């Protein structure tokens, strides 16, 4: 059964979409909530590969990419540290749930597993995104303990 689609709004100044409502999903035994105010660039598929796989915001890969990107930012699920392998396995599970064909799945997962190490460690830009999300959640009435409990996000991550 396909996963529900997240509620997103385009960001005209970037090639990103902004999550406008929390997005919760359970996959690979993990419940993950991606917070509103998080933005991402869709599935990181080079344009040259779009014909063979998918465009970044195709419905079959959009939700899976959102969850995967969030896991790569926070490195936690259910307040427990996770490694890249688990984050990638969750991505693969979500792709399968959405009916991504075997061939496309193999191509996309090979690329993720080969190149994921390049973005696993958060850059200064990624840390700025985490700080923005945290600050926006607090301004929206969330508490620090609640942000950690629900989204696995703490100030020491940025």
Taking only the tens place, the pLDDT of each residue in 60-88 is 999 999 999 999 999 999 999 999 999 99
Element (H, E) at 115: helix 102-115
Instruction: Tell whether 1 is covered by a domain.
Output: no
Domain of residue 62 covers: 8-157
Q: Where are the beta strands (DSSP E) in the chain?
A: 8-11, 16-19, 23-27, 30-34, 39-40, 76-77, 80-81
Instruction: Tell whether 3 is covered by a domain.
Output: no
93-133 residue pLDDT tens: 999 999 999 999 999 999 999 999 999 999 999 999 999 99
Number of domains in the chain: 1
Q: What is the share, in percent, of the chain residues with pLDDT greater than 90?
A: 83
What pLDDT does 157 receive? Answer: 97
Instruction: Tell whether 135 is covered by a domain.
Output: yes
Instruction: Tell whether 136 is covered by a domain.
Output: yes
pLDDT at 48 over 90: no
Whether this model's pTM surpasses 0.85: yes
What pLDDT does 16 receive? Answer: 94
Taking residues 38-46, report their average pLDDT.
88
């Amino acid at each position: 059964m396909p996963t529900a689609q997240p509620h997103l709004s385009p960001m005209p100044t970037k090639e990103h979409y902004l999550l406008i409502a929390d997005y919760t999903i359970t996959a690979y035994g993990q419940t993950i909530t991606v917070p509103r105010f998080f933005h991402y660039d869709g599935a990181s598929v080079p344009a040259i590969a779009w014909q063979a796989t998918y465009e970044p915001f195709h419905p079959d890969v959009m939700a899976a990419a959102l969850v995967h990107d969030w896991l790569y930012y926070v490195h936690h699920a259910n307040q427990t540290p996770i490694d890249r392998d688990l984050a990638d396995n969750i991505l693969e599970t979500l792709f399968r749930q959405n009916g991504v064909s075997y061939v496309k799945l193999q191509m996309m997962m090979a690329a993720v597993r080969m190149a994921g190490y390049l973005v696993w460690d958060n850059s200064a830009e990624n840390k700025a995104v985490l700080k923005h999300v945290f600050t926006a959640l607090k301004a929206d009435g969330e508490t620090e303990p609640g942000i950690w409990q629900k989204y696995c996000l703490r100030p020491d991550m940025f």
